[in-house]
Amino acid sequence: MPEPFVIDNREDSLFQVHREVFTSPEIFERERELIFGPAWLYAGHESELPRRNDFRTRDVGGRPVIFTRDRHGEVRVLLNTCLHRGASLCRHPAGNAKIFTCFYHGWAYRNSGELVNVPSVEDYAGAPTDVYRTLPAPRVESYRGFYFVNFSGDAPDLRTWLGTSAYLLDLAVDQSEDGIEILPGTHSYTLQANWKLLVENSVDGYHAKSVHHTYFEMMMELGQTPPMLGDSDTNGVPPAGLGTEFGNGHATLMYPGNGLPLANEAVTHNLAALRSRAVERFGESYATAVFDLARNTIFFPNFVLIDLNFGMILRTITPLGPDRTQVSSWQLTPRGLDEESLRYRIDNALTFWGPAGLATPDDVEALEQAQRGFGARREMPWSDISKGMGKARPAANDELQMRAWWRQWNAVMTGEPLPREVEEFIPFDVPVQQPQGA
């Protein structure tokens, strides 16, 4: 394996990542152990479990889990594997159940994890319910309705891990006085590329116009100013906005939201009403951050929140192999939207972020092309992520946010901490105001 993985040369403002980290099976296995074992991983949102005994099944960090609200109303994450022989306890994507029964041999568990029934128990010398008792449970903590799990016993608490990046979750939640909710439905797809490429891409403002030119050209032909493009844009990349880092590998890029593309008067009016109520609750500066700025955020290692006025999505990025990645995404929306505004957001999300939309296929093609290019890694071993390095405040189309993530990756994988590149600051000089009920 290459040493070092990362070159962080502050004197020459040069940042490089060795391309072997995108192809090596050994590095992939080390990531599963060192990154996806100790990290806080997004499991789900409280709005997905509105009633007691509701559940959702999904993979979290390569582990099959049941995200459920038990009969007492407590949110839990259960490993979706039977203590007996390992088969899945629940094969349904969602539902409502007090008991999960393994279809293989019929062992049954409460939705709080206790083993409660073993068929033909009289044939066992010792009672399995006494030997196994309950499913091992990962740590579960939440912040403002976002639930995370941790499979390590010595990780810091979630709030400490998030640090000041929790501000980005606040900005999403506070778009309505009633909070936010996940809309029904999941987009799930795979790509033939390393998972870290999609992490980079999710907070990459440099590629937007070149890769997504069809969308930008369509918007501009319709007289719209697309997100990320300002009036001073002359070369097809977004000069407006900036990137920043929040510690622990969490990072974001922020840029002008530029209103609501293709929205009618009613949708525009309804968004203005939400903003007006936010001003009353929090003041103008916080409402400006909530509604007038767009954000692409990565929470280390693999949880993405993309927050634009015309829609919000959550994305988890799960490695399946060195060159294969599973992506799951959900649409978020402020609670209490009128039907027309809700339909507008759904249409925009499908048109832009959907697996067959104007953005996602472009991104998949770019990342798979990069993965193919790594076949020449012996002759061309390094990828460059230096854009904007040395600036006091890197722009949205610079690469600070990717470097911040890579420094955390490098620290976890090698034990070598690398210092921050810039002093922490709140983007656009918007002061952090702790929202009511945070």
Q: Are 58 and 328 in contact (CB under 8 A)?
A: yes
For the cut 50, the answer to whether the pLDDT of residue 234 exceeds it is: no
pTM, entire model: 0.92
Separation between Cα atoms, residue 305 and residue 268, nearest integer Å: 23
Per-residue pLDDT reduced to its tens digit, 66-101: 999 999 999 999 999 999 999 999 999 999 999 999
Dump the DSSP string for 236-301: SS--SSEEEE-STT-EEEEEE--S-TT--HHHHHHHHHHHHHHHHHH-HHHHHHHHSEEEEEEETT
Domain at 41-143: CATH code = 2.102.10.10
What pLDDT, in 10s, does the model give residues 26-36?
999 999 999 99
For residues 372-400, average pLDDT: 93
* Length of the chain in terms of residues written: 438
Q: What share of the chain is helix, strand, coil (3-state, %, to 5)?
A: 30, 25, 45
Say what the pLDDT of residue 433 is.
44
Asked if the peptide bond before residue 256 counts as cis, ω within 30 degrees of 0, the response is: no
Q: How confident is the model at residue 237 (pLDDT cuts 50, 70, 90)?
A: very low
pLDDT score, position 428: 43
CA of residue 194 relative to chain centroid, distance: 16
Classify residue 423 by burial, with Cβ atoms within 10 Å: 0-12, 13-18, 19+.
exposed
Domain spans, the chain: 41-143, 164-429
pLDDT digits (tens, 9 = 90+) for 251-299: 999 888 766 777 888 899 999 999 999 999 999 989 988 998 889 999 9
The three-point CA angle 390-396-397 to 5° equals 80
Cα angle, residue 316 at apex, residues 101 and 75 outer, rounded to 5°:
45
CATH assignment of 164-429?
A: 3.90.380.10
- Least confident among 218-222, 224-228, 251-255, 337-341: 224-228
Contacts of 147 (CB under 8 A, 6+ apart): 42, 43, 44, 45, 46, 67, 75, 77, 140, 141
Q: Which residues, other chains included, contact 352 with Cβ-Cβ below 8 Å and sequence gap of 6+? A: 215, 310, 311, 358, 359
Nearest to 184 by CA among 331, 307, 57, 317: 331
Q: What is the pLDDT at residue 222?
A: 64
pLDDT band at 386 (very low <50, low <70, confident <90, very high): very high
Residue 366: pLDDT over 60: yes
| Interaxial angle between packed helices 265-282 and 284-291, expressed in degrees from 0 to 180 and rounded to the nearest 10 | 140
- Is the separation of the CB atoms in 326 and 318 below 8 Å? yes
* pLDDT for 128 beyond 80: yes
